[in-house]
Amino acid sequence: MNKKRKGIWITFSEWRPWIIAALTALSVNFAAEAIMATIDVWVNGKVWVTGEWGSFSPLRFGYILFFIIMVYWLIRNRTKFFPPRTRSLKQATEKRKHLVLFLSNLPPVFKKTAGVPAWLSLSEDIHQDIQQIESLKRKDPRRYRWQWEMPLRAIAHHLENDHSKEDTLETVTIICSKKSISQIKHFFTICTNYRQLQGKHFYLLAQKSENTSSLIPLSPAIDITPFQGYNFEDFDEIVSAMDRLLQEFAKKGFSESDIMVDITGGQKPTSIVGAAMTFNLKIKAQYVQTNDPWKVISYDVVLSSADTKGLGI
């Protein structure tokens, strides 16, 4: 099949559910008239007057059967009405005010060094430290691995590298697992030691008990003992947490177009939920490549039909 024919077939596949829905809607009228005509014959016709059944009408039967087939076909195609698609997929260049990220758990070996690898000497410049990590990883990628490298890259992307320009980033919201929440103070300390992040607002989305998520301002004196993280493998729990977070953002007056959800950290369910929560919204998802060249890619995902003009595509 050549490319042209393949493209036509894909277009027809996307339109097919809507054609089915249209035919189903049209068949409703014919089926309703056929059913009413049949009932009229039974109630007012031969059944009650003479005790005999009316003559069989193949046409009326055909209308009813066609309607039943279309309803069945519509149900079979119900999941194909709004396939996910990207309104844009590109190396991220835009910077947003509010970043959400999932914090992965560090191995026990990092506990002695407050979350910082022994081979890394942190400075007060986040861009400088990322360059240092890149230089080391190019020598030996397997040896120089740090789970918090990607969250720092995610944050750094929304900061200006030019000291003369004002940073776009205003807040960072961190979602922890049940294990990584005990390490949140280490991550917070690392971030706030960078001069580019001094004055930025950090929040922790956590729960005191199940289904009671709260957005908590982070500070050096915060006591995280009453709070617990989330099960990063529990899809429903992550959905509930993200839904609560968006409600809190709305209360704070955060615009959707100012929010970015980083889906690099955590586990597979967190990436799926993080991306899914941006569907059909102005919120975008971003992913940091875990290998050279370590680019940041943004996703603007919509659930739409083949006719995407109304969505700005």
Same domain, yes or no: 11 and 67 = yes
Q: Answer yes or no: are the C-beta atoms of 30 and 23 closer than 8 Å.
A: no
Q: Is the pLDDT of residue 138 over 50?
A: yes
Question: What phi and psi values does residue 147 have, to the nearest 5 degrees?
Answer: -65, -25
Domain count, the chain: 2
Same domain, yes or no: 42 and 166 = no
Same domain, yes or no: 42 and 170 = no
Looking up tokens 């099949």 gives 1
Give the count of beta carbons closer than 10 Å to the beta carbon of residue 268.
11
Same domain, yes or no: 155 and 262 = yes
Same domain, yes or no: 241 and 92 = yes
Same domain, yes or no: 22 and 112 = no
Q: Is the pLDDT of residue 259 over 80?
A: yes
pLDDT tens by residue, 72-94: 877 777 666 655 555 555 555 68
Q: Are strands 296-303 and 284-288 parallel, antiparallel or unpaired?
A: antiparallel
- What are the structure tokens assigned to 44, written together? 């007012």
Give the Cα separation of 204 and 214 in Å (integer): 8
Task: Report the sign of the C-alpha dihedral through residues 211, 216, 218, 224, in that order.
Answer: negative
Cis peptide before 293 (omega within 30 of 0): yes
- Which of 81, 108, 134 corresponds to the end of one domain? 81
Same domain, yes or no: 194 and 207 = yes
Going from the C-alpha of 176 to that of each of 146, 148, 166, 171, the distances in angstroms are 17, 12, 29, 16
In DSSP terms, 296 is beta-bridged to: 288
pLDDT tens by residue, 143-161: 899 999 999 999 999 998 7
Q: Is the pLDDT of residue 9 over 90?
A: no
- Which of 47, 81, 115 corresponds to the end of one domain? 81
Q: Is the pLDDT of residue 307 over 50?
A: no
Question: What phi and psi values does residue 104 have, to the nearest 5 degrees?
Answer: -80, 155
Same domain, yes or no: 215 and 100 = yes
- What are the structure tokens assigned to 23, written together? 């035919």
| pTM assigned to the model | 0.70
Same domain, yes or no: 275 and 158 = yes
DSSP conformation class of 167: P
Q: Which residue range(s) make up the domain with 150? A: 86-311
DSSP line for 215-252: EEE--TT---TT-B-B-TT-HHHHHHHHHHHHHHHHHH
CA angle 271, 297, 184 (to 5 degrees): 50
Give the Cα separation of 100 and 262 in Å (integer): 6
Same domain, yes or no: 92 and 58 = no
Same domain, yes or no: 51 and 98 = no
How sure is the predictor about 309, in pLDDT bands with cuts at 50, 70 and 90?
very low
Give the Cα separation of 3 and 12 in Å (integer): 14
- Which of 21, 56, 81 corresponds to the end of one domain? 81
Same domain, yes or no: 136 and 268 = yes
Give the Cα separation of 161 and 146 in Å (integer): 22
